[in-house]
């Protein structure tokens, strides 16, 4: 991150100095270019994950819903030849990946007339910085929310990471990437807050004698590059604790081999289709229940056991919730009836859940999977919760990392992932962040607006006077899309 620190330092700042050519104190607080420039500088400074993934930008005006194409880099294969033989040409091509620009992030606030006496610098500190930090956090949440798309590549054990196992888990994750032939250069790992704590407790990461950094890692609690990863902590990384709603007693079929997808319990009555379970202490990865035979107490799970489990291993159950939407959302975002109840594909706002127990309330960062009203399928789309309205105790409104890929119906099953830390390891080319500039308001529309771009990111600032509120409304926004470029280039580390 040193290059970003240099970019935004007082001595050299192309965003703040080149475009404005003056100091913050001298700026007219109602010139939108100043707000846009400062917004972009703050945004780049505060993003974590967005600075580590593939970024795609073209200076072409776009609107929400537009589909653009980014490129997944191609690969070559080494060929043999002898003197006199022709070389074998290979296609130097990359695969097009269509991405919908379906994430329009914004923050809007009012500057009342009494604020006009303040210098631009003071307005930035009081209003703009928290606004842009919120957008930066939103972008990182969206990107880290894609980690669940890579969950098939995993290492570690949920809830069992400690200072004595932290290094082992990181090395096991490294092995997963090595097996997938992920390039060694440019690997990153985003640790959850709890996972970072366990890593820092291992003195092999911080001891000056072992690290050779004259004590910097210990003084600053910094991890830097270790074990082949650039290690970062991000507060938006998934890590959470939900009390379990019950246990299904234990395993009741002796030794059960890795790869098994049907397990027998002593009592399956507390397990239903759509629930998530973990099997302690040997397997401890998220398993989703797709079928239950109450007579034989046989439970079908996906993705299946990763490790051998034994008789009497305890099964912890995380109950499924249900979608609560008695009407259906129309294309304009309203509701109509009596059309089929549920949420349409592309729905980007809150989704109401019910059938939630007080001990299993959804939390930000938790992953979810939607099934049908009665069936949990192995291939259902996975999402991550980025916001929760927790005003009630038996239902909740959740916002997801992206608009719905497909429609969901009323009373659809919602599987909630188990307690633990879900740190994310990835190569730059695993994910793409695509941004495009937004259009300026029409001339004479009563608004001043500017768009600036730097380092493949564009942001817009718009100022308009609200005569009723007696204030200037400042809105900063940007348009983006996120895509998984290669699901082999990332992995989730459970902890």
CA distance 221 to 50: 22
**CB within 8 Å of 90: residues ≥ 6 apart:** 76, 77, 79
Q: Which CATH architecture has domain 246-318?
A: Beta Barrel (2.40)
**Degrees, nearest 5: CA angle 149-411-326:** 120
**H/E stretch holding 238:** strand 238-240
- Taking CA atoms, 328 is separated from 66, 213, 405, 407, 410, in Å, by 24, 59, 16, 10, 9
Q: What is the mean pLDDT of residues 296-323?
A: 94
Identify the DSSP state of 37: H
CA distance 490 to 495: 16
DSSP sequence for 124-148: IIIIIHHHHHHHHHHHHHHHHGGGG
- Exposure on the CB side of residue 392, measured as CA atoms within 13 A: 11
In Å, the largest CA–CA distance within the chain is 83
Can you give the pLDDT at residue 251? Answer: 84
The neighbouring-strand residues paired with 451 are 460
Can you give the pLDDT at residue 18? Answer: 40
Please provide the average confidence, as pLDDT, over all residues in the chain: 85
Encode pLDDT of 264-296 as tens digits. Answer: 999 999 899 999 999 998 999 999 999 999 999
**CB within 8 Å of 188: residues ≥ 6 apart:** 52, 229, 230, 231, 232, 425, 426, 427, 428
Among 55-64, 205-214, 357-366, 395-404, the range scoring the smallest mean pLDDT is 205-214
Helix, strand, coil percentages in the chain from 3-state DSSP, rounded to 5: 20, 35, 45
Residue 357 has pLDDT above 80, yes or no: no
DSSP sequence for 150-212: GTTSEEE-TT---TTTHHHHHHHHHHHHHHTT--STTEEEEE-HHHHHHHHHSTTTT-HHHH-
pTM: 0.85
In this prediction, residue 209 has a pLDDT band, given cuts at 50, 70 and 90, of very low
**CB within 8 Å of 122: residues ≥ 6 apart:** none
Residue 476 has pLDDT above 70, yes or no: yes
- Taking CA atoms, 150 is separated from 22, 154, 422, 423, in Å, by 46, 8, 11, 11
Residue 326 has pLDDT above 80, yes or no: no
The neighbouring-strand residues paired with 155 are 493
The neighbouring-strand residues paired with 180 are none
Distance of CA 58 to the CA centre of its chain: 23
Percentage of the chain modeled with pLDDT above 70: 84
Among 95-109, 132-146, 286-300, the range scoring the smallest mean pLDDT is 95-109
Are the C-beta atoms of residues 68 and 101 closer than 8 Å to each other? yes
What is the Cα Rg of the chain in Å?
25
CA distance 386 to 73: 30
Percentage of the chain modeled with pLDDT above 90: 59
Domain segments of the chain as ranges = 2-72+99-146+436-475, 246-318, 321-418
Are the C-beta atoms of residues 463 and 441 closer than 8 Å to each other? no
CA distance 281 to 71: 42
Residue 331 has pLDDT above 70, yes or no: no
Can you give the pLDDT at residue 17? Answer: 43
DSSP sequence for 442-477: PTTSSEEEEEEEETTEEEEEEEEEETTTTEEEEEEE
């Amino acid at each position: 991150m040193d290059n970003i620190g240099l970019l935004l330092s007082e001595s050299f700042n192309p965003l703040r100095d080149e475009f404005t050519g003056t100091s913050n104190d001298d700026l007219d607080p109602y010139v939108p270019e100043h707000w846009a420039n400062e917004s972009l500088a703050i945004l780049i400074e505060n993003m974590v994950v967005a600075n580590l993934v593939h970024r795609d930008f073209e200076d072409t005006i776009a609107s929400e819903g537009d589909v653009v194409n980014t490129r997944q880099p191609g690969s070559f294969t080494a060929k043999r030849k002898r003197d006199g033989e022709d070389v074998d040409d290979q296609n130097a091509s990359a695969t097009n990946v269509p991405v919908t620009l379906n994430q329009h992030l914004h923050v809007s606030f009012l500057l009342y007339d009494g604020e006009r006496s303040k210098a631009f610098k003071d307005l930035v500190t009081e209003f703009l910085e928290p606004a842009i930090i919120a957008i930066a956090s939103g972008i990182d949440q969206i990107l880290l929310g894609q980690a669940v798309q890579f969950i098939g590549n995993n290492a570690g054990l949920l809830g069992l990471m400690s200072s004595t196992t932290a290094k082992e888990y990181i090395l096991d994750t490294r092995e997963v990437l090595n097996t997938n032939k992920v390039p060694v250069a440019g690997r990153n790992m985003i640790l959850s807050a709890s996972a970072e704590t366990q890593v820092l407790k291992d003195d092999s990461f911080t001891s000056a004698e072992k690290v050779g950094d004259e004590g910097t890692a210990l003084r600053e609690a910094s991890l830097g590059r270790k074990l082949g990863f650039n290690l970062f902590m991000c507060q938006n990384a998934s890590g959470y604790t939900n009390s379990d709603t019950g246990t299904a007693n234990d395993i009741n079929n002796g030794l059960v081999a890795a790869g098994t997808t049907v397990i027998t319990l002593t009592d399956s009555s507390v397990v239903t289709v759509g629930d998530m379970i973990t099997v302690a202490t040997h397997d401890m990865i998220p398993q989703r229940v797709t079928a239950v035979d109450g007579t034989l107490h046989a439970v079908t799970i996906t993705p299946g056991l990763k490790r051998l489990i034994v008789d009497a291993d305890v099964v912890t159950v995380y109950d499924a919730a249900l979608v609560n939407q008695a009407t259906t959302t129309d294309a304009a975002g309203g509701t109509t009836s009596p059309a089929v109840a549920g949420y349409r594909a592309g729905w980007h706002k809150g989704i109401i859940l019910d059938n939630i127990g007080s001990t299993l309330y959804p939390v930000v960062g938790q992953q979810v999977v939607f099934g049908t009203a009665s069936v949990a399928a192995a291939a259902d789309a996975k999402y991550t919760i980025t916001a929760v309205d927790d005003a009630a105790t038996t239902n909740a409104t959740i916002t997801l990392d992206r608009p719905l890929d497909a429609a969901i119906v009323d009373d659809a099953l919602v599987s909630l992932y188990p307690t633990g830390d879900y740190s994310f390891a990835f190569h730059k080319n695993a994910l793409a962040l695509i941004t495009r500039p937004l259009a300026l308001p029409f001339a004479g529309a009563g608004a001043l607006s500017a768009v600036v771009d730097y380092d493949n990111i564009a942001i817009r600032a718009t100022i308009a006077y609200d005569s009723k509120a007696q204030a200037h409304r400042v809105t900063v926004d940007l348009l983006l899309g996120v895509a998984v470029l290669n699901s082999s280039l990332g992995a989730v580390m459970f902890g």
